[in-house]
């Protein structure tokens, strides 16, 4: 068996044909480099219609870059960034916020990837203390690294609490589309409360491309001035920007016959496939053969299962271990669905998991 669909990451997915078509459309003749091109003008308009006339978007290459540019834009040299202990900026960017940005990440414990407003007190007392990195930014991830989603109310309360403490709020929206689709919200509603957004494209059907989006009206002039310099000096300025812009515009504006935009179609499909996988595995969880470790609110399913079973499934499907399991000989795995994961792919994967668990338990 040689499946071409894996459950490791939404980054494994192919590029959506509508994104490819948009890139092909941008691929005519010469146009101005570094962003003064027609496709980037269309992207600017798409950002304004998605997030409001005051919003300003800056295309970048990748999510780590979007996060670093954002955090540097919001922090002085003595700044610290409060984030969940599971945050991508804390665990999965090779220390780039520290190395490139010169910022200290100030982690907070979180069982499910989300933070609660009262947790901010942990660092609030450091404000004004010259011995402590100043907690000037809160970075939240929506949807979280653990596949959970802040409700609109939770996000409003958390970002309000941060602003009350004088912090600015950055949102890592690598999967903002999945969160918005799960919430039945617009992208703008799902990002509400954030001052600066890392808007994801790659996991949502793009080839490569994300954007830093200024959402706070009071930051538009100052950050609008700073960001072009910051983006270049952090190596995130694309010369042939039209190709990145065209992808993001396609996600934001390309609609089907019902008027459903591509970002939403892709994200709601990926979320639905994760729900389908969870439902297919539910009898195994009820029988105690595996354990769901997180809620499935977006496009990820987190499970603990015997390592032997996980390794057997892995011989056909790629996926990552998240961490060792709590039970001896077990592992916690993350199974992710993407815009191009089909129901048949999910059913085949669930059957492989079922078979591997039967064999693992038979061998006990
Ligand atoms: C929550 C989150 N933020 C940001 C990123 C961006 O990563 P990259 O720099 O690989 O595009 C990822 C990718 O896995 C992610 O999961």
Q: Which of 92, 96, 150, 171 to mutate to test the pocket of ligand 1 (most atoms within 8 A of CB)?
A: 92
Q: What is the mean pLDDT of residues 67-86?
A: 97
- Per-residue pLDDT band for 362 (boundaries 50, 70, 90) equals confident
Fold of the CATH domain 261-362: 3.90.1150
CB burial of residue 43 (10 Å; 0-12, 13-18, 19+): buried
Q: What are phi and psi of 54, to 5 degrees?
A: -80, -15
Architecture of the domain spanning 17-253 = 3-Layer(aba) Sandwich (3.40)
Q: How far is the CA of 63 from the centre of ligand 1 (A)?
A: 5
CA 114/CA 87 separation, integer angstroms? 10
- The pLDDT value given to residue 4: 76
Cα(267)–Cα(298) distance, rounded to whole angstroms? Answer: 8
pLDDT tops 60 at residue 104 = yes
- Token pair 């970048």 is found at 60
Query: Quick one: which atom of ligand 1 is closest to the CA of 202?
Result: 11
Q: What is the dihedral of CA 68, 69, 70, 72, to 10 degrees?
A: 80
Tell me what pLDDT residue 3 has.
54
CA of residue 210 to ligand 1 center, whole Å: 10
pLDDT surpassing 80 at residue 72 = yes
Does 1 have pLDDT greater than 60?
no
d(CA 208, CA 238): 11
3-state secondary structure of 228: helix
Residue 39: pLDDT band (50, 70, 90) is very high
Q: Which residues contact 49 (CB under 8 A, 6 or more apart)?
A: 252, 253
Over the stretch 333-344, which tens digit does the pLDDT of each residue have? Answer: 999 999 999 999
- Could you please report the per-residue DSSP string of 96-119? HHHHTT--EEEEE--SSS---GGG
Output the residue whose Cα is nearest ligand 1's atom 4. 63
pLDDT band (50, 70, 90) for residue 2: very low
The residue among 38, 125, 130, 120 whose CA lies nearest residue 82 is: 120
- Nearest residue to 193 via CA among 176, 210, 178, 211: 176
Q: Residue 152 C-alpha to ligand 1 middle, in angstroms? A: 22
Per domain, the residue ranges of the chain are 17-253, 261-362
Could you report the per-residue pLDDT of 287-316, keeping only the tens digit for each? 999 999 999 999 999 999 999 999 999 999
CA 263 – ligand 1 centroid, Å = 17
Secondary structure element (H or E) that encloses residue 218, with its range: none
Q: What is the DSSP code string of 9-35?
A: -GGGS---HHHHHHHHHH-SS---STT
pLDDT tens-digit profile of 174-229? 999 999 999 999 999 999 999 999 999 999 999 999 999 999 999 999 999 999 99
DSSP state of 208: S
Higher pLDDT, 280 or 5: 280
Confidence band of 152 (pLDDT split at 50, 70, 90): very high
Ligand 1 centroid to residue 198 C-alpha, Å: 10
pLDDT of 137 strictly over 90: yes
Most ligand 1 atoms within 8 A of CB, residue of 66, 83, 88, 176 to mutate? 88
Which is nearest to 64 in space by CA: 97, 38, 113, 24? 97
Give percent of the chain above pLDDT 70.
Answer: 99
Got the DSSP string for 247-301? HHHHHHH-B-TT--BHHHHHHHHHHHHHHHHHHHHHHHHHTTSSEE-S--SSSEE
Residue 230: is its pLDDT beyond 70? yes
How far is ligand 1, taken at its centre, from the CA of residue 282, in Å?
29
Q: Which residue has the tokens 């202990």?
A: 85
Atom of ligand 1 at shortest range from CA of 175: 1
Which residues surround ligand 1 with Cβ inside 6 Å? 62-64, 88, 141, 145, 172, 174, 202
- The mean per-residue pLDDT over the stretch 234-244 comes to 98
- Range 144-150 average pLDDT: 98
Atom of ligand 1 at shortest range from CA of 203: 13
Return the residue matching tokens 């900026």: 89
355 closest CA partner among 293, 303, 310: 310
Ligand 1 atom closest to 210 (CA): 11
What is the rounded (10 degree) CA torsion for 107, 55, 16, 336?
Answer: 20
**3-class state of residue 67 by DSSP:** helix
Q: Which two tokens stand for residue 197?
A: 């957004």
Angle 343-362/262-286 helices, nearest 10 degrees? Answer: 20
Give residue-wise pLDDT tens across range 319-333.
999 999 999 999 999
On the question of pLDDT at 48 being above 90, the answer is yes
Atom of ligand 1 nearest to the CA of 62: 11
Q: Determine the pLDDT at residue 360.
A: 85
Q: Would you list the DSSP string of 115-157?
A: --GGGGHHHHTTTT-TTS-EEEEEEEESS-TTS----HHHHHH
Give dist(CA 101, CA 177) in Å, integer: 26
Atom number, ligand 1, closest to the C-alpha of residue 67: 4
Q: Ligand 1 mean position to 181 CA, how many Å?
A: 19
CA of 318 to the centre of ligand 1 (A): 18
What mean pLDDT do residues 9-34 have?
A: 97
| Ligand 1 mean position, distance from CA 171 (Å) | 12
CA dist 344 → 20, 182, 255 (Å): 24, 22, 25
Which ligand 1 atom lies nearest to the CA of residue 64? 9
């Amino acid at each position: 068996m040689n499946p071409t669909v894996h459950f490791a990451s939404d980054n494994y997915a192919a590029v959506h044909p509508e994104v490819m078509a948009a890139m092909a459309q941008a691929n005519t003749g010469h146009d101005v480099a570094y962003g003064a091109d027609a496709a980037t003008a269309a992207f600017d308009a798409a950002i304004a219609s998605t997030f409001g006339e005051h919003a300003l978007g800056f295309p970048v290459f990748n999510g780590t870059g979007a996060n670093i540019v954002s955090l540097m834009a919001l922090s002085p040299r003595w700044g610290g960034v409060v984030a969940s202990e599971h945050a991508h900026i804390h665990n999965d960017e090779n220390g780039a916020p520290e190395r490139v940005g010169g910022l200290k990440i100030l982690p907070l414990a979180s069982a499910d990837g989300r933070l609660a407003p009262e947790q901010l007190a942990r660092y609030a007392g450091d404000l004004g203390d010259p011995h402590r990195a100043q907690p000037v930014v809160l970075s939240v991830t929506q949807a979280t690294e653990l596949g959970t989603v802040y409700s609109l109310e939770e996000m409003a309360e958390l970002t309000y609490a941060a602003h009350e403490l004088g912090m600015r709020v950055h949102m890592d929206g690598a999967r903002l589309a999945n969160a918005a689709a799960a919430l039945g919200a617009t992208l703008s509603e799902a990002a509400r409360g954030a001052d600066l957004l890392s808007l994801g494209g790659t996991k949502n059907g793009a080839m490569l491309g994300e954007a830093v989006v200024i959402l706070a009206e009071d930051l538009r002039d100052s950050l609008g001035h700073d960001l072009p310099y910051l983006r270049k000096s952090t190596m995130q300025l694309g010369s042939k920007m039209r190709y990145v812009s065209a992808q993001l515009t396609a996600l934001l504006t390309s609609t089907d016959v019902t008027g459903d935009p591509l970002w939403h179609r892709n994200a709601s499909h990926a979320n639905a496939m994760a729900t389908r996988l969870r439902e297919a595995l539910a009898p195994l969880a009820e029988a105690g053969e595996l354990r769901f470790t997180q809620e499935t609110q977006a496009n990820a399913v987190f499970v603990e299962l015997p390592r032997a079973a996980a390794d057997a499934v892995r011989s056909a499907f790629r996926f990552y271990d998240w961490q060792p399991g709590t039970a001896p000989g077990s592992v916690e795995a993350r199974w992710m669905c993407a815009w191009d994961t089909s129901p048949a792919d999910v059913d085949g994967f669930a059957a492989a998991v079922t078979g591997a668990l039967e064999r693992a338990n038979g061998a006990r």
